[in-house]
Structure formats: C-alpha cells, structure tokens
Homo-oligomer: A and B are copies of this chain.
C-alpha cells in the first residue's frame, strides 16, 4: 500500500493522552459547576441538514460551513448537472456552533422539554477558516443557555456560573463586561444616529478594545455617521470609568449617569431597569465582583436583544467568551418566539492561556504503579497482584513482555509512572512485594496485604 501522509488534515489536531487529560480536567470542572447550577447536558449530531445551517451565520458563515456530499444516485445526478452548485452536491453540513442546533432542538421538542430548559453543551464545531496559529478548523465550544424566561434572574445565574468556572480554573483578575442592546439603541437615538446607520455604528463602537477611543471616532466617521451624532454619542459611551481592579468599579454611578441621559427614552428605561435588576440579583453570587457595566460593549452577532456580556482581563488580550439574551432566535425554527439567554465560553482560548501561564495542576502520570513480569510461568502471579491493586482503587499498568528489569523500569520512567511493583519467586515465597520509588530509586519490601495501602499513602490518594 502506498505511503500516505500521517499528519491530521489541515487545521485539525490529534490530542495525545497528556493533552486529552488536561482538556478533560478543564471540561470536568466546567461540567461540575454548570451542573451545580442545575444545567443539564444536551447532545446534538455533528451533522445537520444544510437547510438548518444555511443563512444563519451570514454570507461569510455560509462559506465557512463544511458541506457533506450527497451519496449514491442523488450524488451522481447532482454531478451530472450542468454547472452544479455546492448546494446541489451537498445535503448536510457540519455544525458551525452550538446555538443553532439548540434553537432547532428547542423548537422540535417543545412539548418534552421542561418549562425552563437549562442546558450546557461542550462539543466540537467545525469552520473552514484558513488555519493559522491558534485558529483551528475543529474546535470545542462550551455553551450554557436558559430557554423560557425573560427574567434577569437568568442573566444573574448565567454570569454567576461563568464566574465560578473561571475562578475554579484559576482565573481571578477578570471582568464580565455588561451592556444592553437597548441601551445602545437609546444612546444612538439620543445622539441622533439614524436607525438605518445604527448597525454600522455598533461595529465601530465594538472596536474600542482594539483601536482605542480615537480609532472609534475615526471608524464612526468612515462608516458615515454624522459628525454631530458622533460628538453627542461619545460622551454617552464614556460614562463608565476605567476599572482598576475586580470589584473596584462603580456600576451604580454608571447607571445613574446613563439614567440622566437616556432614562426618559423607552429603550433606555427598559435597559436600565434590566441592568439594575441584574446587579441587584448578582450581589450575592460569584459574579458580583466581576460585573462591569461597559456602554461600549456591542458584540457582533445581530441576534442579541437584551443584556450582552463579554469576559476580558488586563492580563491578556481578547475575550474569554461572550453571550447575551436572544429572545427572537428560536423563532427562526418555531412558530413562536421563545425567550433565551446564553453564554459561550472560549474554552480553546482558556486552554491556551492555562498552558502559557502554567496554570495546569500537573500530574506526572495517570498511572499509579507498573507491575513487572518475571517469566511466562510466573505471569499469572503478576496478573493477580495487578488485579488486587485495581480492586483497591489504584490505576495499574502491567508490563507486557518478558524483558529484563532494567528495560521494564525504563518503560515506567518513560511513562512517568511513580512506582514499580516487583514480584519474583523470592518475593512470592516470602509473601511480599518489592516496591520501587522511581524518583528516589529506593526499593522496599512490603507485605502483600499492605501493598495497596503503602502505595496510596505515598500517592497521597
């Protein structure tokens, strides 16, 4: 057979055991926290009908979908067409995010799902982006959403759970930037930005982080916002003071100032009332010290209808995830609108940061002890010892070949297994096992019945 490339396909990654173990530790913490908040897991197929996916992510998104070819006669027919299009040849696509599948599920199972559907999903999505450093074509998303309530308790719970995840992972110095789509509308209305120009203005406003305040002004000009509107808009956006450290921003003052300016407008009133409630509900939760009202936060996706969030920190650039309320998205799949609010944690970015900053609680090995072999006739004894230790709750590897002990120890070293158990005829007869500490090189004979205890004590488990 011809030699083919053994690398993963472009933009894809293999995760060897050490990587998987690290990733799983992070995923498990996220799962644990979300479950403690009453969220339940959902699983949807990797492939969706093309009609489910197309038109949901904008023109650019449609291009980035991985499309799956039809099969058999349908494929033959499509390929024989004159100038076939991609949508003739494909009938499914790989999921692009976890939100559209959720919206489909919420519509399909309306009668089976509880009145409030609190779900989390940690799963890969696929995008045909050009691969580059830190950007992959297969990557995990980690979403929580609550479907079925318009109350700000939802926003307070989602942000609290999220803050707790970050704290449990070891991040402390982060902010959850909060804004409200209707507050942005009110500010633009007050500044006289014409309704048809507001989406353009949002794009400019959202770039504060990347291009600074002067950059935003320039971008607003370039996007055709009138000078007078810009002059009125910027002071409104500037209401929030720069935060200094967690818990040290005066959100109440920000809201009071905004109330002065836009409190009399209908959208301003609704937004300020929502944000008031969110702050009040959050006081006793994990997000309390992290919430930061930021009038500049806009977020790109057009489907948001209420509060919006984004996690940032002075310690690193970019965002660790974002979310918000989208009361109209599920209506794309259902006959009625169903309110919803969710957050997508940037788990791949979090994993990279944790790696860079040495935040992983390193374990040398997932295996506790290697049981060695003496010879074929003696192998059943080694098996028996391995089983005893497994029954005692230890993770045990058994060396497979009849090699000299030096080679067997070498393998334990290679896998970073901390202890090696030796059971040769002498040991068996004496009712002991020789235990070798691979770090110190010390070897000790331990009575057979004490072996598991001896190991557990030293492993600190």
Contacts and interface: CB of A to CB of B under 8 A. Distances in A.
Interface of A: 1, 3-9, 12-17, 19-21, 23-24, 35-38, 40-49, 51-52, 55, 63, 66-69, 71-72, 75, 79-80, 83-86, 89-90, 92, 94, 104-105, 107-109, 112-116, 118-119, 124, 126, 128, 137-138, 146, 148-151, 153-154, 156-157, 160, 277, 280-286, 332-335, 366-367, 370, 373, 376, 379-381, 383-384, 387, 390, 393-402, 411, 414-415
A8 B47 CA distance: 9
A286 B42 contact: no
A71 B333 CA distance: 27
Copies, count:
2
Contact of A153 (B66, B126, B373): B373
A458 B118 CA distance: 25
A1 B332 CA distance: 6
Contacts of A282: 383
A12 B46 CA distance: 9
A107 B397 CA distance: 23
Contacts of A86: 69, 75, 79
A357 to B, nearest CB: 23
Contacts of A45: 8-9, 12-14, 138
A400 B4 contact: no
Given A15-B42, A94-B68, A380-B283, A116 B411 contact: yes
Secondary structure at the A interface, as helix, strand, loop or mixed, is mixed
B41 A395 contact: no
A379 B1 contact: no
A367 to B, nearest CB: 5
